[in-house]
């Protein structure tokens, strides 16, 4: 079905069984994810080297680090769903450090994100990142999401509350164990922040600026741009994943960089399926879903048209 159509797709019974079918993580899936981790580490190392080289390489290195930070959160997203490894325990061990460059706390993100999957299309839906696609679309709202640097101050408050033992989950219910895990990870983030502070105190603030602060400042809006198409301009008052979510076919590069986040309908239809298996399910989505784009450029052209219309 063409993107932007509002007509309900007519689907024969059983035609979408493959789209919603669950699949367990295999050894091949695990190797695919580990390969992505290795590639991210290598690219991060190259970016750090370039950022410290000086001259025009510094800017290129900062940009590359920002891209790696953004990509790391998308890898962390797969860990949230326990679809990267065959065993459960490695997901947290790997997921926690993947989010630290952008100060995304794994266990807090996980409980909020799984709640998002459970309540998508209902008033209880609440994503970890503050942008709400159900609100009226305005330039001001988009700019606030694009430059959501106040979120970092919020992380600081959560670190403080975790060290005091007063941290509370403010969006629904949470188990005692999950609360303990969240506080432990916020405390870890607080300890990690002591490292750049110590480096700055020794007179090497330039290292912190090039290797973390500048890439962080760029990665926050980059991550917003990756997340924005998921549900914006979709039908947010239905629980039908074929209507309330968007998929972007994209190419190999965008699929790798977003770690399959572009195939978001496929992901919501079966959230525990390993990301590398989602492209095989896109045929059904392209045939039956309402919001399907060829590429990110198509989505952002549509977004700009809607903004002009809203004004």
Residue 168 lies in a domain: no
Domain around 211: 17-147+203-310
Query: How does residue 14 score in pLDDT terms, banded at 50, 70 and 90?
Result: low
Identify the weakest region by mean pLDDT among 2-11, 62-71, 144-153.
2-11
Residue 126 lies in a domain: yes
Q: With contact defined as beta carbons under 8 Å apart, do 259 and 73 qualify?
A: no
Spatial distance between the Cα atoms of 37 and 293, rounded to a whole number of angstroms: 28
Spatial distance between the Cα atoms of 260 and 278, rounded to a whole number of angstroms: 7
Please determine, for residue 123, whether its predicted confidence score (pLDDT) is greater than 90.
Answer: no
Mean pLDDT of the 218-237 span: 95
Average pLDDT, the chain: 93
Residue 196 lies in a domain: no
Residue 301 lies in a domain: yes
Please determine, for residue 8, whether its predicted confidence score (pLDDT) is greater than 70.
Answer: no
Please determine, for residue 102, whether its predicted confidence score (pLDDT) is greater than 50.
Answer: yes
Spatial distance between the Cα atoms of 262 and 293, rounded to a whole number of angstroms: 9
Residue 157 lies in a domain: no
The string of pLDDT tens digits covering residues 281-293 is: 999 999 999 999 9
Query: How does residue 218 score in pLDDT terms, banded at 50, 70 and 90?
Result: very high
Number of domains in the chain: 1
Query: How does residue 148 score in pLDDT terms, banded at 50, 70 and 90?
Result: very high
Residue 154 lies in a domain: no
Residue 236 lies in a domain: yes
Query: How does residue 129 score in pLDDT terms, banded at 50, 70 and 90?
Result: confident
Please determine, for residue 4, whether its predicted confidence score (pLDDT) is greater than 60.
Answer: no
pLDDT of residue 276: 96
């Amino acid at each position: 079905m063409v993107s932007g159509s509002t007509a309900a797709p007519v689907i024969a019974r059983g035609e979408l069984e493959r789209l919603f079918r669950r699949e367990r993580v295999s050894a091949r899936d695990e190797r695919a994810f580990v390969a992505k981790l290795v590639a991210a580490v290598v690219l991060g190392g190259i970016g750090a080297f370039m950022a410290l080289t000086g001259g025009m390489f510094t800017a290129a290195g900062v940009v590359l680090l920002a891209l790696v930070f953004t990509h790391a959160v998308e890898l962390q997203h797969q860990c949230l769903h326990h679809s990267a490894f065959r065993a459960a325990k490695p997901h947290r061990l790997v997921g926690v450090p993947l989010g630290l460059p952008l100060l995304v706390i794994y266990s807090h993100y996980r409980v909020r994100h799984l709640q998002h999957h459970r309540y998508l299309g209902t008033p209880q839906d609440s994503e970890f990142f503050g942008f709400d696609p159900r609100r009226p679309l305005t330039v001001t709202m988009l700019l606030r999401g694009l430059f959501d640097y106040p979120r970092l101050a919020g992380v600081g408050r959560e670190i403080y509350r975790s060290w005091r033992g007063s941290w509370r989950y403010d969006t629904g219910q949470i188990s005692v164990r999950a609360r303990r895990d969240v506080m432990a990870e916020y405390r870890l983030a607080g300890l990690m922040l002591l490292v750049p502070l110590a480096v700055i105190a020794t007179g090497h603030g330039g290292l912190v600026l090039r290797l973390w602060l500048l890439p962080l400042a760029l990665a926050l809006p980059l991550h917003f741009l990756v997340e924005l198409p998921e549900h914006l301009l979709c039908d947010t008052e239905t629980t039908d994943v074929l209507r309330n979510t968007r998929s972007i076919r994209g190419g190999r590069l965008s699929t790798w960089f977003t770690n399959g986040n572009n195939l978001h309908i496929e992901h919501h239809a079966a959230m525990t399926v390993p990301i590398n298996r989602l492209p095989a399910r896109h045929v059904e989505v392209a045939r039956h879903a309402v919001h399907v784009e060829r590429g990110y450029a198509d989505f952002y052209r549509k977004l700009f048209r809607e903004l002009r219309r809203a004004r």
